[in-house]
Structure 1
Amino acid sequence: MSNQTMVHRVENETILVLERVFNAPKELVFSMFKEAEHLKQWWGPRGFEVTVCTVDFRPGGVWHYCMKCMDPQMGDFYGTESWGKAVYKEIDEPDGFVYTDYFSDAEGNVNDSLPATVVKMEFIDLGGGQTKLVSRGEYVSSDSLKTVMDMGMLQGITETWDRLEERLNEVK
């Protein structure tokens, strides 16, 4: 488990800012987000595995994935699949990237009934082998942000970033 705390705040009722410091160099933390083999090892909350993951990491490229609940102790969630699709808008390696995040189906069709998010990821070298990761997710409305918060997104991303830290510790 992490000894780092994720900080979150809401700005203008439509922007969710998440921040966390990782004990790994910036280039390594950045690489965890651009390579399918890394993403498969840590993306998603505990109890979920990435069963499908394709990454075309370039502006206009798509990341398409499926998270499947593999933990029988998670009750009704066990066996469920959650599909996502990201379309990269800007990439400034290793400082950051911007993408639009969507809920999707297995074919990559966007689910318009759930909110999309424009996400700006920033990787800040703090020196001493530490990197601050800042994620700014912008929603079209406060209701859209409330929808994902009510779905448990904050707990999910906290567990996801805990798993990212564990993965970083394995590979560094």
Structure 2
Amino acid sequence: MNNLNNRTLSLQRTFNAPIELVWEAWSQPEHIVQWWGPKGMETKVIEHNFSEGGAWKYAMLMPDGNEFIADGIYIKIVKLEKIISSANFKPMTEGVEIQALFEKDGDRTSFTFNVVHPTEEYCKQQEKMGFMNGWGSVFDRLKEFVDTSNKK
């Protein structure tokens, strides 16, 4: 088995919003459509069974009309702590595990996102393809969404 660190890409963010709100943004379909996917993309939730063993499937609509499908199966869900899921983002990425980790920091939330790849080579290739920019853009949208929701 390859060293996990060599197969994992991570991003960290701190959100100026309570952990409950950030958790809801990840676990409720009506919130997910507000931020999932890079800027300029519209997201449709096709399937969302938020439970261990449950499937999720989202379609991301590109401005040019093309559609990307993201799907996976929830492996582990610990309320206000972690969401671990298998994930495919066809055609770019397949067979990865995504880990969303939440930590309460007063009235803010520390958030870590890990993507574990099947091999080190695949991990390096994904990083070169723009992992940080792509997911960075998604979490900028998430930050905007929770910050705005928190002010309501």
Q: 1:136 aligns with which of 70, 89, 114?
A: 114
Q: Please provide the CA RMSD for this pair.
A: 1.8
Which of structure 1's runs of 4+ aligned residues deviate more than 4 A?
Answer: none
Tell me how far apart the structure 2 counterparts of residues 52 and 147 of structure 1 sit (CA, whole Å): 28
* Correspondence 1:114-153 to 2 at 5 A: 114-127=93-106, 129-153=107-131
Residue in structure 1 matched with residue 40 of structure 2 by the alignment: 47
Alignment gaps of 5+ in structure 1: 1-10, 71-77, 105-110
> Structure 1, residues 106-154: CA drift from partner, whole Å, max 9, x if none?
xxxxx7x943211222100111x11011112211112211232233222
What is the total number of aligned residue pairs between the two structures? 147
TM-score w.r.t. length of structure 2: 0.88
TM-score w.r.t. length of structure 1: 0.78
> Structure 1, residues 21-62: CA drift from partner, whole Å, max 9, x if none?
000001110111111110101101111110344211000001
Tell me how far apart the structure 1 counterparts of residues 125 and 45 of structure 2 sit (CA, whole Å): 25
Name the structure, 1 or 2, with higher relative contact order (CA <8 Å, separation 6+): 2
* Correspondence 1:3-152 to 2 at 5 A: 12-70=5-63, 78-104=64-90, 114-127=93-106, 129-152=107-130
